[in-house]
Structure 1
């Protein structure tokens, strides 16, 4: 028999809900119905019940039910009183959970809800990028004071793939061209015959190397 949750006595069992707030828009009918997902990560079933501070403004499909252990349930919330008078009014939903077969409250979670007139377009200013200066040196450091460590970093621009990358790509191509083990028509020695698994590894590595070369 599964033990009761440790928070049963104080009613502070964490309740996991997403999203934690609901925003409805009068001019966007697609937002008039929204889904709240209630999770049960515990090893015992939970019974839930949805309450509201404004029950006449909403309908909730399956406002009561049971969630099996390590499962979730979707709760559909509809705003049915879309009008100007309700815009900007803040409502709340409360989800209460109890252990299945028990009446004592284990935990609760409140969800804010609000109706707004319409979606507002983004008013954030565009990024204003500015030049860092020609030298790119720290303040107070002139070009004459650049040490060999600074110049060594600029001698190897990313203009092409390195020798290791090219060598790896060539090695993979050669490996793919070698015969498969057991090929009776091959005249190559056994140590130059690769298994299917080895060829798959070579093809995978070649794909990764090719992506690196293309992005250089």
Structure 2
């Protein structure tokens, strides 16, 4: 009797998603921290496609917010904070990485990554207890809306000046 090797049926939302780091911290006084990289890993035997969503898309630029990851490979996703102002200090935003099988439309899994802008690395606040911080973040994002990142085109910037 010959045994057939079949890939198990994947249920929507059940696939574990592997992303590092799980938190992005931007520092206003450190220009180099305004650009950070998320790495999405695909340990599976099949290709994945991904989409990056954000609760505050106007504050960030995500280079290649959609794409694909080959089996047993990884991709780097560049995220730039583009609205570094004091009014955003301490505000928690979230990125959601949704993954699906290359040939499918339904999201098989997702992972959320928090992002925070702080004034300075040298003025780090004392760390709260991890369970308190996790609970606070979950409460804050319980009803979050995620938006697709608009395609960001580097290159020409056209300015129109109207004279009256």
Q: Normalising to structure 2: TM-score of the pair?
A: 0.70
Q: Contact 2:17/2:109 (CA < 8 Å) preserved in 1?
A: yes
Partner SS state of residue 13, structure 1: coil
Q: 1:43 to 1:58 in 2, by over 3 A?
A: same
Q: Contact 2:27/2:33 (CA < 8 Å) preserved in 1?
A: yes
Q: Contact 2:62/2:77 (CA < 8 Å) preserved in 1?
A: yes
Indicate the structure with greater strand content.
2
Indicate the structure with greater helix content.
1
Which residue of 105, 121, 127 maps to 1:103?
Answer: 105
**Cα distance in 1 for residues equivalent to 2:48 and 2:30:** 35
Q: What is residue 145 of structure 1 aligned with on the other side?
A: none
1:39 correspondence with 2:44: no
1:78 correspondence with 2:80: yes
Q: What is residue 67 of structure 1 aligned with on the other side?
A: 69
Superposed, 1:155-170 pairs within 5 Å as: none
Superposed, 1:174-213 pairs within 5 Å as: none
**Cα distance in 2 for residues equivalent to 1:69 and 1:120:** 40
**Cα distance in 1 for residues equivalent to 2:65 and 2:98:** 11
Q: 1:3 to 1:56 in 2, by over 3 A?
A: farther
**Bigger Rg over Cα:** 1
Q: For structure 2, list consecutive stretches of 5 or more residues without a partner in the other structure.
A: 127-164
**Cα distance in 2 for residues equivalent to 1:32 and 1:10:** 34
Which residue of 25, 28, 31 maps to 2:27?
Answer: 25
Partner SS state of residue 32, structure 2: helix
**Cα distance in 2 for residues equivalent to 1:123 and 1:9:** 41
TM-superposed CA distance for 1:101, in Å, is 1.5
Q: Normalising to structure 1: TM-score of the pair?
A: 0.54
Q: What is residue 54 of structure 1 aligned with on the other side?
A: 56
Alignment RMSD = 2.1
Q: Contact 2:47/2:71 (CA < 8 Å) preserved in 1?
A: yes
Q: What is residue 11 of structure 1 aligned with on the other side?
A: 13
* Greater relative contact order structure (CA < 8 Å, 6+ sep): 2
Q: For structure 1, list consecutive stretches of 5 or more residues without a partner in the other structure.
A: 125-216
Listed one character per residue, the Cα deviations across residues 28-64 of structure 1 (whole Å, up to 9, x for unaligned) are 0000000000000000000000000000000000100
TM-superposed CA distance for 1:120, in Å, is 2.3
